[in-house]
Amino acid sequence: MFNFMKKWTNSEQLNETITIEQIKQHEIPKHIAIIMDGNGRWAKKRSLPRMAGHHEGMKVVRKITKLANELEVKALTLYAFSTENWKRPKTEVDYLMKLPEQFLSTFLPELIEENVRVQIVGDSSKLPNHTLQAVQKAMKETEQNTGLILNFALNYGSRAEIIHAVQQIAQEYKEDAISLDQINEDYFSDKLMTKGLEDPDLLIRTSGEIRLSNFLLWQLAYTEFWFTDVLWPDFNEQHFLTAIHDYQQRGRRFGGI
């Protein structure tokens, strides 16, 4: 009954090799969201600084983005930096704020060539200028692309997002711009940062943690969850294919029979 809460171990996931051809024979999730967790623990296991784990994790983002695009996934949302991550040591926060710039400066030509479009969700007003400029440059240079949407959640927190949406709607109601009967799920969804994106079909979280950590709380209402003990820097293409394969075995009834 509670199979969706099971944490898959590395050995369980890789008992059989899943191929791209196999995956393409069945329905591909249109929108995949990933909580990329375990960079620090990966580094600690190797007696390396936490920043080494974040650097290694950046390489995984590139591999998974390429594979998602090859599978014709429509959107890939990556939880890159939460509103709670500001509580980490300043040296680590500063390094994390440099990662989007490093990633996009080296990967942007490939993203353009592969027809990937970059977007972000989150409160960009608090991002350092160099981070924001790198992301805005990538968004500008890929805005005409029509393939995979690579959506970075940067300084993102779902509760703050929901409160902001409620405030917008309350203000509109106060100004008589809307009536109460106009406020429904679709109207509310259009006030969220993910406006224009379908809700995720599949959520992947690495590192063995089984929680959402303030990520897409409204949007994940009917999403299939897939948890793994594998740390993000060790997450590879076969893990990604296995997650999708497992998703394809599930029956999604959305409350029906």
Average pLDDT over residues 237-251: 95
In whole angstroms, give the CA distance from residue 31 to residue 238.
Answer: 18
- Known active-site residue 234: no
- Known active-site residue 176: no
Cα 21–Cα 59–Cα 99 angle in degrees, nearest 5: 140
| Catalytic residue from among 3, 10, 15, 37 | 37
Does domain 31-248 fall under CATH 3.40.50.11540? My reply is no
Q: Is the pTM of this model over 0.85?
A: yes
Give the model confidence (pLDDT) of 4-44 as tens digits: 444 544 444 455 799 999 999 999 999 999 999 999 999 99
What ranges do the domains of the chain cover?
31-248
What are 58's two structure tokens? 């950046």
Output Rg (C-alpha) for the chain, integer angstroms.
19
In whole angstroms, give the CA distance from residue 116 to residue 119.
Answer: 10
Average pLDDT over residues 124-150: 96
SS3 of the chain: helix, strand, coil, percent, to 5: 50, 15, 35
Under 8 Å between Cβ of 34 and 64: yes
Identify residue 12 by its one-letter amino acid code: E
pLDDT band of 251, cuts 50, 70, 90: confident
In whole angstroms, give the CA distance from residue 79 to residue 67.
Answer: 18
Cβ partners under 8 Å of residue 25, min gap 6: none
Helix (H, G, I), strand (E, B) or coil at 61: helix
The beta-strand segments (E) located in the chain are 7-8, 31-35, 75-82, 117-121, 149-156, 202-205, 224-228
In whole angstroms, give the CA distance from residue 247 to residue 30.
Answer: 12
Reply yes or no on whether the pLDDT at 179 is more than 60.
Answer: yes
| Catalytic residue from among 10, 69, 85, 145 | 85
